Chains A and B, each alone.
Chain A
């Protein structure tokens, strides 16, 4: 091995150190550049959401892998009960009576031909307008445990729909709801089905008409300070955002002390081009009266819940062209069906003969909900799990509210449309 002198060694060491330092510097530069690149990429990736989400409920579908389909789980007795939640007093009483009337008509029609095994169907009605916590939940428990209902049909109230769903999910009882609250079916639960358009569908339909068809920009959204109002507001703001429209000016009404003062104050500053109401029907009526008294001339869009009978408005059909023509004043809401079918007309005629008024969208849906349960009992027997399976398999059923097909989440795929109110 060659021997090197100390001076030579030092020089070699210095050269080696310099080289090492140079490569370290280069390496450090590279590392910083890479880190900056990675950081910027990560930042960009964080700012722009992925095109495809990591997972979605709609694509996974809802199944029920539980028990209860065996004959041993069949409900006993010749009378099979269907639970019905409807507002039976207070401002929504007229809507409740309409729901009950429609449900009774469906039950009578479904039993024109006797059910197999000598079965008989009956309705067990509970008042949906009572306080939800402490009374309504006890009523639902009574229906499920004591009355052993085969299914529950709920009215338009979102809280009642959630309570029925929560209990039904634990005990295993199907719920068919007329509530538009989309969160009831965004859970992956196999026990709930919605007949009418959800708040999401309604909000998109209304927003499209306001922002796209009419090209309006300045909109006032009136909601109620409760569960349904909050969900409605979220959905409409989201629908406006999806269309690239400016967020609506929001007014929130206290349901315990409804006062149109804040709304009138807001519109005095800048009259809006359109109004959207997401409130209960009686509050909607009060707000409409207040707007009428100050002579507002702008189209008013009501959620399906606002447009119930309590609003004091009457329904008549209007095609899409008619909506486009209505460039000025008019009151509109969302309904499931547009075409007049013989069954729809027959039901509407008989309903009007019985009550003196044309059925609201919710009354049409109540008829179909009870009819679907009755048919499920006829075909699948008096068994909650099999009735659930039968209802979930509903495809292209020609109901009075429209053509019903439930998707994997339990939402009705039927197209909704805007209708004109008087």
Chain B
């Protein structure tokens, strides 16, 4: 009996080790095919700050207006001449119930509905400030993160509510990001960390940098990694929120913090412009590439052009092949090349479309098409041989 128990224990442990080993050895699904939108195919020049998926339509916010892509083509570029309140479009949110597109610009907030823009500025509405960095939809409410605080518009009544350091537990009024969960709204503040608003009970919960120093991180997973938060995302599958900062990535699961810096992870850069998440995936839009964390296996994948260092120089460089860096939990790295590449290493934001991704970069918009199941299997067997 003892021997049987012992044998079963050893077998279970062995299977567990093998299972973990296999899971670790597996290459995550990759994006090996990229279709890019640049000035070469009618896209405006300059940075793409934001991107949103609206069924088959893609909206992109750029330095020179709002771009609509349909069926793989640039259909329209909306500018201030078309009614946009500002030329630089920082944020886009699609209300999937009404079909309205909410656009945050450096000149105010705008609602694109029925082919018309209706603009909201701090002089004509309850918008706290005209510098709108992020927009999110929470049922009938539209939230806008602005340089003067957060504004919430009730689209049924037209009433506005402003949340700032005068009436909310914010250290600073500067809003930089907003994300919506089923019961809470997550606010990212420049200099104020993350503040969570409980929708049902109307209370606030601030999260700041526990060591109180902006220049250091005292302990790795003690709390929010930096108090200047550039972006926030909520993951309904894991019930976690993720905060991007200019000094690393922070995730909070309700009990523990999970912080990542380049020094001990596959994160491409600590300078994070935006963060997005779905399932087990966390995507960090950094200045040195697009980094994906598989939170379950702690495996990282970073996408950037193979010649990315040359892209940041003064001479013009032709985009070549893509570079994919896979970082395992033990820190080992493997680099593979893809025939096509994301258009630039300086990533400003991204959005999901089914299995595909759309990536806003400083050099244009990139559509990442996930490899087929066949390719995935080939990759896995190659990875196992490796």
* A interface residue numbers (CB < 8 A to B): 49-50, 53-58, 60, 64-72, 133-134, 137-138, 141, 145, 162-163, 166-167, 170-172, 182-183, 186-189, 227, 383, 386, 409
Chain A residues, Cβ within 8 Å of B226: 187-188
Chain A residues, Cβ within 8 Å of B88: 145, 170-171
Q: Among residues 286 to 321 in chain B, which have CB atoms less than 8 Å away from a CB atom of chain A?
A: 287-288, 308, 311-316
Given the known A-B contacts A138-B130, A162-B190, A166-B174, are A145 and B214 also in contact in the complex, defined by CB atoms under 8 Å?
A: no
Query: Scoring B residues 203 to 217 as 1 if CB is less than 8 Å from chain A, else 0, what string do you get?
Result: 000000001001111
Given the known A-B contacts A137-B131, A166-B131, A188-B270, are A57 and B216 also in contact in the complex, defined by CB atoms under 8 Å?
A: yes
Given the known A-B contacts A57-B214, A171-B63, are A166 and B147 also in contact in the complex, defined by CB atoms under 8 Å?
A: yes
Cβ of B362 within 8 Å of any chain A Cβ, yes or no, is yes
Contact A66 B287 (CB under 8 A): yes
Within the complex, which residue of B122, B129, B363 is in contact with A67, where a contact is CB–CB below 8 Å?
B363
Nearest A residue to B172 via CB reads A227
Q: Among residues 56 to 108 in chain B, which have CB atoms less than 8 Å away from a CB atom of chain A?
A: 63, 86-88, 90, 106-107
Chain B residues, Cβ within 8 Å of A53: 211, 216-218
Alpha-carbon distance between A187 and B363 when the two chains are bound, in angstroms: 24
Contact B173 A187 (CB under 8 A): no
Within the complex, which residue of A67, A134, A162, A186 is in contact with B344, where a contact is CB–CB below 8 Å?
A67
Alpha-carbon distance between A66 and B271 when the two chains are bound, in angstroms: 11
Cβ of B180 within 8 Å of any chain A Cβ, yes or no, is no
Nearest B residue to A171 via CB reads B88
Chain B residues, Cβ within 8 Å of A170: 49, 88, 90, 106, 133
Q: Among residues 148 to 192 in chain B, which have CB atoms less than 8 Å away from a CB atom of chain A?
A: 148, 172-174, 176, 190-191
> Most A CB atoms within 10 A — which of B129, B131, B308, B316?
B131
Chain B residues, Cβ within 8 Å of A64: 287, 312
Nearest A residue to B289 via CB reads A65
Cβ of B323 within 8 Å of any chain A Cβ, yes or no, is no
Nearest B residue to A234 via CB reads B212
Alpha-carbon distance between A58 and B122 when the two chains are bound, in angstroms: 38
Chain A residues, Cβ within 8 Å of B271: 65, 188
Given the known A-B contacts A72-B316, A183-B191, are A67 and B346 also in contact in the complex, defined by CB atoms under 8 Å?
A: yes
Residue pairs across A and B with Cβ atoms less than 8 A apart, 13 shown, are A54-B216, A65-B312, A67-B344, A69-B312, A134-B122, A134-B129, A137-B129, A137-B131, A137-B148, A163-B147, A170-B133, A187-B246, A227-B172
Nearest A residue to B122 via CB reads A134
Alpha-carbon distance between A178 and B203 when the two chains are bound, in angstroms: 39
Contact A49 B218 (CB under 8 A): yes
Within the complex, which residue of A56, A167, A386, A409 is in contact with B217, where a contact is CB–CB below 8 Å?
A56
> Most A CB atoms within 10 A — which of B86, B90, B218, B248?
B218
Nearest A residue to B46 via CB reads A73
Cβ of B345 within 8 Å of any chain A Cβ, yes or no, is yes
Q: Among residues 14 to 56 in chain B, which have CB atoms less than 8 Å away from a CB atom of chain A?
A: 45, 47, 49
Nearest A residue to B221 via CB reads A54
Contact A57 B47 (CB under 8 A): no
Within the complex, which residue of A65, A145, A163, A187 is in contact with B287, where a contact is CB–CB below 8 Å?
A65
Within the complex, which residue of A50, A57, A145, A189 is in contact with B106, where a contact is CB–CB below 8 Å?
A145
Contact B216 A55 (CB under 8 A): yes
Query: Scoring B residues 115 to 146 as 1 if CB is less than 8 Å from chain A, else 0, what string do you get?
Result: 00000001100001111010000000000000
Alpha-carbon distance between A133 and B90 when the two chains are bound, in angstroms: 18
Within the complex, which residue of A167, A187, A383 is in contact with B214, where a contact is CB–CB below 8 Å?
A187
Given the known A-B contacts A55-B261, A66-B362, are A141 and B106 also in contact in the complex, defined by CB atoms under 8 Å?
A: yes
Contact A54 B148 (CB under 8 A): no
Nearest A residue to B271 via CB reads A188
Q: Among residues 357 to 378 in chain B, which have CB atoms less than 8 Å away from a CB atom of chain A?
A: 362-363
Contact A54 B172 (CB under 8 A): no
Alpha-carbon distance between A68 and B128 when the two chains are bound, in angstroms: 31
Alpha-carbon distance between A171 and B348 when the two chains are bound, in angstroms: 11
> Most B CB atoms within 10 A — which of A60, A66, A145, A172?
A66
Cβ of B242 within 8 Å of any chain A Cβ, yes or no, is no
In the complex, how many angstroms separate the beta carbon of A147 from the nearest chain B beta carbon?
Answer: 13
Contact A70 B314 (CB under 8 A): yes
Known: A172-B47, A183-B228, A187-B247. 7 other contacts (CB 8 A): A64-B312, A66-B362, A67-B346, A67-B362, A134-B122, A166-B174, A170-B49
Cβ of B278 within 8 Å of any chain A Cβ, yes or no, is no
In the complex, how many angstroms separate the beta carbon of B73 from the nearest chain A beta carbon?
Answer: 24
Cβ of B334 within 8 Å of any chain A Cβ, yes or no, is no
Chain B residues, Cβ within 8 Å of A66: 287, 312, 346, 362
In the complex, how many angstroms separate the beta carbon of B263 from the nearest chain A beta carbon?
Answer: 6
Chain A residues, Cβ within 8 Å of B174: 162, 166
Chain A residues, Cβ within 8 Å of B47: 171-172
Alpha-carbon distance between A60 and B345 when the two chains are bound, in angstroms: 19
In the A-B complex, list the 9 residue pairs whose CB atoms are closest, starting with the nearest.
Answer: A133-B148, A186-B214, A66-B346, A53-B216, A188-B246, A69-B314, A55-B217, A65-B287, A56-B216
Contact A133 B147 (CB under 8 A): yes
Contact A67 B106 (CB under 8 A): no
Chain B residues, Cβ within 8 Å of A188: 226, 246-247, 270-271
Nearest A residue to B190 via CB reads A166
Chain B residues, Cβ within 8 Å of A134: 122-123, 129-130, 148
In the complex, how many angstroms separate the beta carbon of A122 from the nearest chain B beta carbon?
Answer: 22
Contact B314 A167 (CB under 8 A): no
Cβ of B269 within 8 Å of any chain A Cβ, yes or no, is yes
Alpha-carbon distance between A157 and B17 when the two chains are bound, in angstroms: 59
In the complex, how many angstroms separate the beta carbon of B1 from the nearest chain A beta carbon?
Answer: 17
Cβ of B333 within 8 Å of any chain A Cβ, yes or no, is no
Contact B190 A67 (CB under 8 A): no
Alpha-carbon distance between A172 and B313 when the two chains are bound, in angstroms: 15
Alpha-carbon distance between A338 and B174 when the two chains are bound, in angstroms: 37
In the complex, how many angstroms separate the beta carbon of B231 from the nearest chain A beta carbon?
Answer: 12
In the complex, how many angstroms separate the beta carbon of A51 from the nearest chain B beta carbon?
Answer: 11
Alpha-carbon distance between A53 and B271 when the two chains are bound, in angstroms: 19
Contact A70 B49 (CB under 8 A): no
Within the complex, which residue of A65, A162, A383 is in contact with B346, where a contact is CB–CB below 8 Å?
A65
Chain B residues, Cβ within 8 Å of A167: 106, 131
Contact B131 A141 (CB under 8 A): yes
Alpha-carbon distance between A265 and B106 when the two chains are bound, in angstroms: 47
